[in-house]
Amino acid sequence: MITVTNLTKNYPSGEGAVPALRGIDLTVATGEFICIMGQSGSGKSTLLTILGGMCHPSDGSVTIDGTPLYELNDDGLADFRARHFGFVFQSFHLVPYLTALENVMLPLAPLTMTATEKRSMAAEALARVGLAGKEGRLPSKLSGGEQERVAIARAVVNRPTLLFADEPTGNLDSATSDQVMALFSELHRAGQTIVMVTHNPDNGRYAQRTIRLKDGLVVS
């Protein structure tokens, strides 16, 4: 469960601090699929970054299953991300010189487990997103939809408590977008907690709840 209390984020600027989030309170239950929507500059990406343990808030707190996230030190936060979070980025962000299987194995690299275990988990995650048989392909040899699937496989390979997605269909055509969203829906049905940022209203229908942000505040 995510509990967000009075979350504030100000970015330094030449003329003083620019507020990105202005005191957000939010709760996400385990197994919930929520969608954060809002216009550009509304603060949705900043909120996702802070929920994902990648950016310290100016004020307020984020607690994940009882762990106050930003009371952890840098290594503790990195370990927490490795064990509990999965990320799907807008531009896929696959490592170009690694194969699909190796890209999926990336989050497992710093973890203590055998190479066979890592390989097996990565192959299983790829199969789960429908890419069995394409393990050895480099990202450049995959279509946009396939790259997105590899990114999703990479995000779920460590069986995360929370899956964060930032505009996961931003670079895809509508047919592929539907396939990807169906995949998220399937993951959710399997019990995965998902927090997704999008400005595409069509994606909102896959989520259980939609939170709308405007000027750093939750408006609905």
CA 58 to chain centre: 21
Which two structure tokens, joined as six digits, stand for 90? 């807008």
Q: Does 105 bind other proteins (CB under 8 A)?
A: yes
List the one residue out of 162, 155, 97, 96 whose CA is nearest residue 126: 155
Nearer to other proteins, 26 or 106 (CB): 106
Per-residue three-class SS string for 89-146: CCCCCCCCCCCHHHHHHHHHCCCCCCHHHHHHHHHHHHHHCCCCCCCCCCHHHCCHHH
Residues of span 170-209 touching other proteins by CB under 8 A: none
> What distance in Å separates the CA atoms of residue 7 and residue 25, rounded to the nearest whole number?
7
CA–CA separation, 73 and 61 (whole Å): 15
Which stretch of DSSP H or E encloses residue 80? helix 74-84
- Would strands 59-64 and 16-28 be described as parallel, antiparallel, or unpaired? unpaired
**Given 7, 51, 108, 207, the residue binding other proteins (CB under 8 A):** 108
Q: Going by DSSP bridges, is the β-strand pair 193-197/209-214 parallel, antiparallel, or unpaired?
A: unpaired
Q: Which one, 14 or 96, has the nearer CB to other proteins?
A: 96
3 lines the binding site for other proteins (CB under 8 A): no
Choose between 80 and 215: whose C-beta lies nearer to other proteins. Answer: 80
Which of 29, 62 has the CB closer to other proteins?
Answer: 62
The pattern of x and - marking residues 134 through 173 that bind other proteins according to CB under 8 A reads --------------------x-----------xx------
Residue range at the interface with other proteins (CB under 8 A); choices 32-40, 44-52, 126-134, 210-218: 44-52
Would you call 116 exposed, middle or buried from its count of C-beta atoms within 10 A (0-12, 13-18, 19+)? exposed
Paired with 63 in beta bridges are 3, 68
Minimal distance, residue 32 CB to other proteins, in Å: 21
Q: Does 44 bind other proteins (CB under 8 A)?
A: no
Judged by CB under 8 A, which stretch of 29-37, 58-66, 93-101, 208-216 contacts other proteins? Answer: 93-101
Q: Does 114 bind other proteins (CB under 8 A)?
A: no
Q: Which of 87, 180, 193, 195 binds other proteins (CB under 8 A)?
A: 87
Q: Stretches 20-28, 99-107, 140-148, 209-217: which one binds other proteins (CB under 8 A)?
A: 99-107
Write out the two tokens for 55: 């950016």
Chain residues that interact with other proteins, rule: CB under 8 A = 45, 48-49, 52, 54-55, 74-75, 78-83, 85, 87, 89-91, 93, 95-98, 102, 105-110, 115, 118-119, 154, 166-167
